[in-house]
Each structure stands twice: as structure tokens, then as C-alpha cells.
Amino acid sequence: MFSRRRLLHGAGALSAGLVAARAFPAWAQTHAHGLQSTLSTLSGEDIALTVARLHLNVEGRAGHAIGLNGTVPGPLIRLREGQNVRLRVDNQLDEETSIHWHGLILPFQMDGVPGVSFPGIRAGQSFTYEFPVRQYGTYWYHSHSGLQEQEGHYGPIVIDPAHHDPIAYDREHVIVLSDYSFLHPHTIFARLKQEPGHFNMQRETILGALTGRDPPLSDQMEWAEMRMDPTDISDVTGSTYTFLINGHGPADNWTGLFQPGERVRLRFVNAAAMTIFNVRIPGLPLTVVQADGQNVKPVTVDEFQISVAETYDVIIEPREDRALTLVAEAVDRSGMGHATLAPRPGMSADIPPLRARPRSTMRDMGMDMSSMTMAWPGSPEAAAQGGMDHGDMSMRDGANAPQVRMGPGVQSIAPMPVERLGDRGQGLEDVDHRVLVYTDLEALEANPDTRTPTRSLELHLTGNMERFMWSFDGERFSEVTEPIPFRRDERVRVTLVNDSMMAHPIHLHGHFFELLTGPDGKRPRKHTVNVLPGGKVTFDLTADAPGDWAFHCHLLYHMHAGMFRVVTVRPLDETRP
């Protein structure tokens, strides 16, 4: 039997040591020369990870956190395509933990979701994950237990290709974006349940209307009539979050070094619990070369939005001997993470001010008329389509989504959701430079499966911002009895319809899916897709990974509120000749 006392003693000694060590792995130390010159990365076939509590120093203030091997983010796990890996995880917490390898294609029993893929790792116990590495690219790992991810239980994974890397670069930095609060995550969740909009300190006000900063009162009243808040962009905001880059708050000024003229590869991972970031380096174009670990045809932009759990690899070519500011602005503009890229440590560049916070639009309510793709009600085309009558623009008409269970958890049904793959992320609609959209992405390599789907599946992303209830098809996971079933190797066209007024990054474990954009056979493959408010996203999925898999919104508190499902792929046994 385990000695609790010994465990506590050990944990205490460990955390004391960690504070002294500043709790950053070398690649995330305040001045990072780039991965190739650091030693802290974990590689090889046998990797040991220890999960324990520690104190994280955020801008000079110590907060409670959960780290891996004593750091937040956890160590970079660097693997090579084609190798096998054994990852032993020791849980030194006084609660259960787990690690999910986000984006990795592996046997379902190694996927790390307690209650779906395995029982979890109990306090004081250890578990060894073992799987072959079948892919390359930028990925990450994080806890799938409780709300631990919010407390720092995440880290990056980089897998080098077995052979030639089509992306040339001289130096690279891993950029892990996250959000940290000194509030306990259970308190954050309770606040969201107790008071909708609790963390929103950018609401429209009467003074704002009088001074012209906010829309006129008549306009505010239209939203109030619907009991909706157009400024409710993020549930948890900069009013409690410090936005971290590689575990560093803005004042900590993490600095990544480069030599002018180098091609620098930045591997962005959004490991935040709740924050979608808009990323830019003022004055420097960004060439996106990889999305969710999958190479894409290079596309050069000035800014991109990275939703929670997505990864993007970007090449920059700074030519001048001067510092640059890397800006990761929260989508609701309630704060930003920023860091410096510079030829030498100790440099800094101008930090741009926060831009004006975005405001939800009719399009975010799923009732945009300007880009209608369906026949006009009453027109001959509409009659031909079976007499669809969308003349009733009710915001909560169950007839517009017959599969949704209309209960207290469903505040609205988008009456006319439109495909939004080509839309810029919230707040970026009007910025006057190039912004990445999903339709810019084109796979570099041919898609492995280009069959026409044999069936289609529609799922609605539903919620009630007043009650902070979130679900698929109106049912929280806690009240769902059946999984979403797939036949092994079948190809299915999946449409996600966002009936809510918030964006949801939807993640399917164990699979990549092809977004329905780009040329045939070169569609971008993703493990996580951001579905804009009131919009739709369609992708084709080959259910080629037998087992049970988690499928959920990657906004941590949305998932915790019930926006989660289990996907099954059967049969489990190999039956093909």
C-alpha cells in the first residue's frame, strides 16, 4: 500500500526544487536560443513524465499549478516518425490524472481519456503509454481529467519526419499559448454557472452609448430583448486570465532568438483552456506551412486565428537586426500574450495596443441574409427544394433542427446557418491585412482517402449562455446514453451546425478529417476545427481507427458543462482479408 505521508513529503520537496528552477523547460526559458541548442527536450523510446503540483511564477506572482517534470508547460516531447515510444507517467497528485496525446494516431487504449480509452491514472499510481509513432508534425499533450488542463497540465510534441522534411528552416521555436488564472478552475466554472457573463468586463453600457463608444441604446435594447449579449465573445476573459507564451506572462517577456536572414520556424500550439488567439508579428509576414501537424501549401498572411487545441507552423524570415513583438491577442481583446523575437537577449520592440473588442453580428446568430445560399422562401426554387419555409426568422424554432432536443439547455437555433469555412475569425472581419481562413489551406500531400462519403451526419452545437449549459443536439453528455456510431473504414460527410453565438473548437480523437474546401484530394486535414457562431463546417471523415474515441468542444468549461460525446468505430477486430 502506498504511503501518503511519503508522497506528500516527496511532492513538497519536488515543488520546492521546482520553484528554484523557475519551472520552465529550457526551450521555454525566458531567453530561448531555439530548440536545437537546448537539452531539456525529452526524446528516445523511453520517456518518463511526473505530474505534480507546483507554484508557477506568473509576472512575479506565485500561483498554484500542475506541472510535468516540474515545469509549465511540460517538457517538449520530441519524437521521430517510425519509432516506438513508451511514456511512463507518474501521478504525484492527490487526485486522478491522465495524458491525452492530442492529434496522435494511436491505438484507442493509449489515447488517455479516462472513462473512454482507459480508467485514468489514480493518485500515486503510474501508467505506461506505448505506441508506434506513425506521423510527423507539431502536436501537444494535456490532461483529460477534471479541469487540470487549466492549471498547467499541458506540453508540446514535435515529431520529426522519418525522411525528408519538405519544410526548410534554419532555426525553430515552439510557441505554446495558454491562459492562466489565479482563481481555481472549479471557482471559474461555478462563477460561469452562477452569473452569466461574469468575466466579461467589456459589456455595452449606457455611458458607452452616450459617448458613442458603444452602439446606441436602441440597438442595445434589441439584443436585450433577445436576452443575448453581443459582447459575449469569450466566457472567461482577461479580467481573470494572464495570457502566457511558453509559460511567460506579458511582463515576463519570453524572448526567442534568431539571426537576421534565417528562416525561423515557429510551431504554435494553442494549449489554452478557453482562449482563442489572434496571432501576428507586426511588420513581418507569416507563411503558414502546417496546420494541426499536417503540411499545407505555404500561404503567406499577416495574421491568423488559432482556436483552442489547434496548431499552426509558420515560417518567418526576419532580415533586420532588430527585435520583433509576437502578439497573441485574445479573440475578445480583453488582453494579450506577447513575447519578443530578437537577435540578442534583452531586446524588445513596440507592443501594439489592444484593438477594439469585436461585437457579434447577425451572421453569428445564423441569420445572415447577404450570403444566403438557399433559395428564397416562396420562390420557385424554394418550392423545388421541398417548400422550405425560412420566412419565420425565429431564433429558437425547433423545426429548423428537428434532431435537437429542445430543453432548457438550448437558447437558440440558428435559423439560417451558413458555411463559414471561408470566414475570418471573430474580430478579424475588417482588419486591413491578410488574415488566414480555412479555405486558404490546401494539403501539401495527397489525401489518403478520397472516396465519396456513403452517408452524411449532422450534429448541432447547442448551448444556453444564460445557464452556461453546452451540448451536442441539445443533450449534455451526462444525459446521453448512446455513442455516435461509425462503421470501420466508412467515409462520412459530417456537418457541424453551430446554433450558439459562440465559436466552438471541435476535436475528434484518433482521426483526422478533411475540411470540405480546397481541390479534390488536397483538402486540409485537421484534428480540431473552429466552428464560428451561427455557422456550419463540413468535413469528410474516414472512420479508420477502431475503438471508442472522445469527441468534444475543446473549450474546457464547455466540455465540462456537457459538450462531449463518445464516438465508436466498429468492428474492433481486423476483418479484412
Judged by CB under 8 A, the chain residues 317 through 376 that form the site for other proteins are 362, 365, 367, 369, 372-376
Q: How far is the CB of 568 from other proteins (least distance, A)?
A: 5
Among 547, 551, 554, 555, binds other proteins (CB under 8 A): 547
Of the candidates 473, 485, 449, 482, the residue with the CA atom closest to the CA atom of residue 569? 485
When the beta carbons of 29 and 242 are compared against other proteins, the nearer one is: 242
CB of 309 to other proteins, least distance (A): 16
Q: How far is the CB of 330 from other proteins (least distance, A)?
A: 17
Residue 427 near residue 357, CB atoms below 8 Å: yes
Convert residues 219-258 into a mask of x (bound to other proteins by CB under 8 A) and - (unbound): --xx-xxxx-------------------------------
Q: In terms of CB distance, is 411 or 498 closer to other proteins?
A: 411
The minimum distance between CB 257 and other proteins, in angstroms, equals 40
Q: Residue 64 in contact with residue 49, Cβ under 8 Å?
A: no
Residues in region 455-474 near other proteins by CB under 8 A: 455-458, 464, 466-467, 469, 471
The reply to whether 412 sits near other proteins by the rule CB under 8 A is yes
Q: Distance between CA atoms of 555 and 481, rounded to whole angstroms?
A: 23
Q: Which is nearer to other proteins, 44 or 115 (CB)?
A: 115
Q: Between 102 and 558, whose beta carbon lies closer to other proteins?
A: 558
* 172 vs 235 by CB, closer to other proteins: 235
What secondary structure letter does DSSP report for 310? -
CA–CA distance from 170 to each of 173, 259, 274 (Å)? 11, 9, 33
3-state class (DSSP) for residue 18: helix
CA dist., res. 234 & res. 526, Å (int): 23
Output the CA torsion sign for 212, 218, 222, 223.
Answer: positive
Query: Any contact of residue 212 with other proteins (CB under 8 A)?
Result: no
What is the footprint of other proteins within residues 392-411 (CB under 8 A)?
A: 392-397, 407-411
Nearest Cα residue to 554 out of 271, 330, 312, 337 = 271
For the chain, helix, strand, coil in percent to 5 are 15, 35, 50
> Could you tell me the smallest distance in angstroms from the CB atom of residue 20 to other proteins?
34
Q: Among 201, 251, 356, 383, which residue sits at the site for other proteins (rule: CB under 8 A)?
A: 201
- Give the span between the Cα atoms of 288 and 298, in whole angstroms: 5
**Pairwise CA distance, residues 363 & 359, whole Å:** 11
Q: Which is nearer to other proteins, 142 or 476 (CB)?
A: 476
Residue 511 CB, shortest distance to other proteins, in Å, is 14
CB closer to other proteins out of 12 and 119: 119
Determine, following the binding rule CB under 8 A, whether residue 115 of this chain makes contact with other proteins: yes
Give DSSP secondary structure letters for 185-228: HHHHHHHHHHSTTTT------HHHHHHTSS--HHHHHHHHHTT-
Hey, which residues between 74 and 113 contact other proteins (CB under 8 A)? 96, 108-109, 113
Residue 117 in contact with other proteins, rule: CB under 8 A? yes
Residue 88 · residue 126 · CB < 8 Å: yes
**Do 517 and 536 meet the contact criterion of CB atoms below 8 Å apart?**
no
Work out how close the CB of 490 gets to other proteins at its nearest, in angstroms, rounded to a whole number.
6
x/- letters, 6..45, toward other proteins (CB under 8 A): ----------------------------------------
445 binds other proteins (CB under 8 A): no
* Residue 213 to residue 12: CA distance in whole angstroms: 51
Q: How far is the CB of 33 from other proteins (least distance, A)?
A: 41
Round to whole Å and give the CA distance between 116 and 429: 39
482-521 residues near other proteins, rule: CB under 8 A: 482-491, 493, 495, 516, 520-521
Cβ proximity of 492 and 543 under 8 Å: yes
Q: Which of 194, 218, 402, 430 binds other proteins (CB under 8 A)?
A: 194
Report the residue number, 402 or 577, with the smaller CB distance to other proteins.
577
Q: Are strands 255-257 and 31-32 parallel, antiparallel or unpaired?
A: parallel
Q: How far is the CB of 491 from other proteins (least distance, A)?
A: 7
Q: How many residues make contact with other proteins (CB under 8 A)?
A: 111
Full DSSP string of 94-110: SS-B--EEET----GGG
